């Protein structure tokens, strides 16, 4: 899935984690030192034991059938009670009160998280184009392989979260998890890539909406002006600082996209492809052709495969989802059902549209409808969903960049103070202006989305999880030669350090095949990401050179 942060209200109980993002959290011990790996493990184990005990108590109180029939109503009541309890003066909150408040924020059920993982704006629209680039056989094979590997990565993230998260030292983001395994440098890498992915996703939303609006106006409105309209809309909606206010409209956007998918499938089955839009991207007029294996150069095929990677791009915010769960041990259920749902639904949609439109498939798929009335209807619906998505992506993106760069590195004020709010408003305008500049400079929807998938999505979904589990297992194994952990003196248990070869020897003494497997996977994924990035950049250059792309800041629409 394309990773969309959203909150679920009403019958579902999943707010987006840390929706106000109060700042980067650097926990410290009572003596002012930073917690070590052993400290995180110790408190995480206690946290899981507490959750198991609470789960058993809850199941005994409600019973199996009551839990099935009435869901987590009792759990909601417990959360409401916890949220309403007074925890004393905010200036003098004890450790126990802080842990209670932190635990009260964990309200999500695995069913709600399943709903969030399957929430998508961009993913399904690109899958028909992916099949048109590689054919039926490689397309289906890639969908299945990427699904299996995405599930494997998700399980790794889930396992590491359970071992390192606690109410005392909560994990709130992918970067937090990376920090506890590899230190500050890896957290910076994760945060920068997360910021880039969110920024370029906003660029893609601007492009998609700009193309749709130009089609609705029958290309009478300048394409760059269309992009400006959506940029201004993003600047306006982006001024909303709290994601909680996006909740109901975000859920509404999901159903708008489902309607668009159904209308697209129904229309392509009874109308001709959009030959004009296909010709604009270099596909000559002719009969519809579908193939089992598409024989064409490696670069466009790799770009097509990256659209499939985009469908499994939710790993970036898996940690946020787990951080919201009252029982994060249940996350595997949400992820398993979500991956299955995404694989079946996305693949079916891609195969269906490709079977009727063949090489004339347009990305996004609904803009390949030739009948103007239905094309306009689907564009109107998807534009509404798109502006909501853009505001959501932009909201998180601005906060990630603001806290990663301005607060942490430059000492800017946090969003909780008045000056920080003004800085946020200015940052939103700059953020959307930058997104407009990028999208209008490179008006190539497919190639830009492929570049995002290769540079950012690929890392979070496939490269980083095996790389991180490698570091986790090595550190955990190295503890076997240390003294027992003493919670009162947490830094006294180690008998050597990572500067000593003895610690490296212990770290590599067990789980050799598992470590080797994850090392190979991480290297292979990194290599694949580099190749895919090269293919995307080369495609962008080639499209400009061959005239198959609209020029930068042009009035001509890419689908005209």
pLDDT at 430: 92
| pLDDT tens track for 271-307 | 999 998 998 888 899 999 999 999 888 888 999 999 9
pLDDT at 523: 97
Residue 123 · residue 382 · CB < 8 Å: no
pLDDT at 77: 43
pLDDT at 269: 94
In the numeric block, the tokens 């005990």 are attached to 53
Radius of gyration of the chain (CA): 24
Q: What are the CA-CA distances from residue 241 to residues 38, 73, 125, 427, 555 (Å)?
A: 36, 29, 29, 11, 33
CB atoms within 10 A of CB 145: 11
In the numeric block, the tokens 């003004």 are attached to 422
**Tokens (6 digits) for 150:** 């995405």
CA–CA separation, 200 and 243 (whole Å):
20
Taking alpha carbons only, the member of 116, 146, 121 closest to residue 343 is: 146
Q: Is 409 exposed, middle or buried (0-12, 13-18, 19+ CB in 10 A)?
A: exposed
Q: In the Cβ-directed half-sphere of 227, how many Cα atoms lie within 13 Å?
A: 31
The pairs formed by 69-77 with CB atoms below 8 angstroms and a separation of 24 or more are 71/109, 71/111, 72/13, 72/109, 75/107, 75/109, 75/326, 76/13, 76/107
Q: What is the torsional sign of CA 230, 206, 366, 557?
A: positive
Mind listing the domains of the chain with CATH numbers?
Answer: 109-443 (1.20.1730.10)
Residue 346: alpha-carbon gap to chain centroid: 17
- Cis before 113? omega within 30: no
CA–CA separation, 408 and 430 (whole Å):
19
* Residues with pLDDT less than 70, the chain: 1-32, 57-108, 119-123, 242-251, 548
pLDDT at 454: 93
CA–CA separation, 2 and 10 (whole Å):
24
């Amino acid at each position: 899935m394309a990773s969309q942060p959203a909150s679920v209200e009403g019958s579902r109980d999943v707010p987006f984690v840390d929706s106000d993002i109060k700042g980067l959290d650097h926990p410290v011990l009572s003596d002012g030192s930073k917690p070590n790996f052993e400290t995180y493990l110790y408190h995480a184990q206690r946290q899981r034991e507490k959750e198991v005990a609470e789960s058993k108590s809850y199941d005994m109180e409600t019973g199996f059938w009551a839990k099935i029939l009435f869901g987590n109503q009792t759990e909601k009541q417990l959360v409401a009670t916890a949220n309403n309890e007074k925890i004393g003066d905010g200036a003098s909150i004890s450790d126990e009160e802080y842990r209670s408040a932190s635990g009260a924020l964990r309200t999500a059920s695995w069913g709600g998280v399943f709903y969030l993982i399957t929430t998508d704006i961009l993913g399904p629209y690109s899958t028909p184009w992916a099949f048109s680039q590689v054919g039926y056989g490689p397309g289906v094979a890639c969908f299945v392989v990427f699904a299996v590997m995405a599930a494997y990565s998700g399980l790794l993230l889930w396992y590491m979260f359970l071992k390192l998260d606690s109410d005392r030292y909560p994990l709130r983001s992918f970067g937090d998890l990376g920090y506890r395994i590899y230190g500050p440098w890896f957290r910076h890498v994760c945060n920068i890539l997360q910021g880039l992915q969110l920024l370029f996703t906003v660029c893609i939303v601007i492009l998609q909406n700009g193309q749709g609006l130009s089609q609705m106006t029958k290309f009478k409105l300048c394409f760059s002006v269309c992009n400006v309209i959506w940029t201004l809309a993003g600047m306006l909606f982006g001024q909303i600082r709290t994601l909680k206010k996006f909740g109901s409209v975000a859920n509404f956007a999901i159903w708008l996209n489902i309607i668009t998918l159904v209308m697209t499938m129904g229309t392509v089955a009874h109308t001709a492809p959009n030959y004009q839009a296909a010709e604009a991207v270099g596909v000559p007029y002719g009969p519809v052709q579908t193939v089992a294996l598409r024989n064409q150069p490696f670069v466009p095929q790799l770009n097509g495969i990256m659209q499939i990677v985009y469908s499994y791009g939710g790993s970036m915010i898996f940690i946020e989802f787990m951080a919201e769960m009252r029982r994060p041990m249940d996350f595997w259920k949400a992820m398993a059902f979500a991956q299955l749902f995404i694989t079946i639904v996305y693949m079916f949609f891609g195969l269906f549209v490709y079977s009727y439109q063949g090489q004339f498939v347009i990305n996004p798929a609904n803009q390949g409808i030739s009948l103007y009335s239905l094309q306009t209807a689907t564009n109107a619906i998807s534009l509404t969903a798109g502006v909501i998505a853009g505001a959501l992506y932009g909201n998180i993106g601005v906060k990630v960049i603001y806290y990663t760069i301005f607060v942490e590195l430059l000492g800017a004020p946090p969003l909780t103070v008045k000056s920080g709010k003004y800085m946020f408003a200015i940052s939103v305008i700059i953020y959307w202006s930058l997104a407009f500049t990028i999208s209008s400079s490179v008006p190539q929807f497919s190639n830009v989305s492929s570049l995002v998938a290769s540079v950012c999505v690929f890392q979070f979904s496939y490269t980083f999880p095996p790389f991180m589990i490698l570091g986790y297992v090595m550190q955990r194994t190295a503890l076997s030669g240390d003294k027992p952990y003493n919670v009162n003196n947490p830094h006294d248990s180690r008998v050597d350090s990572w500067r000593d070869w003895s610690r490296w020897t212990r770290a590599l003494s067990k789980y050799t095949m598992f470590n080797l497997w994850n090392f190979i996977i991480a290297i292979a994924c990194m290599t694949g990401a580099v190749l895919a990035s090269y293919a995307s950049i080369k495609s962008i250059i080639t499209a400009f050179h061959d005239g198959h792309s609209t020029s930068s800041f042009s009035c001509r629409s890419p689908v005209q």
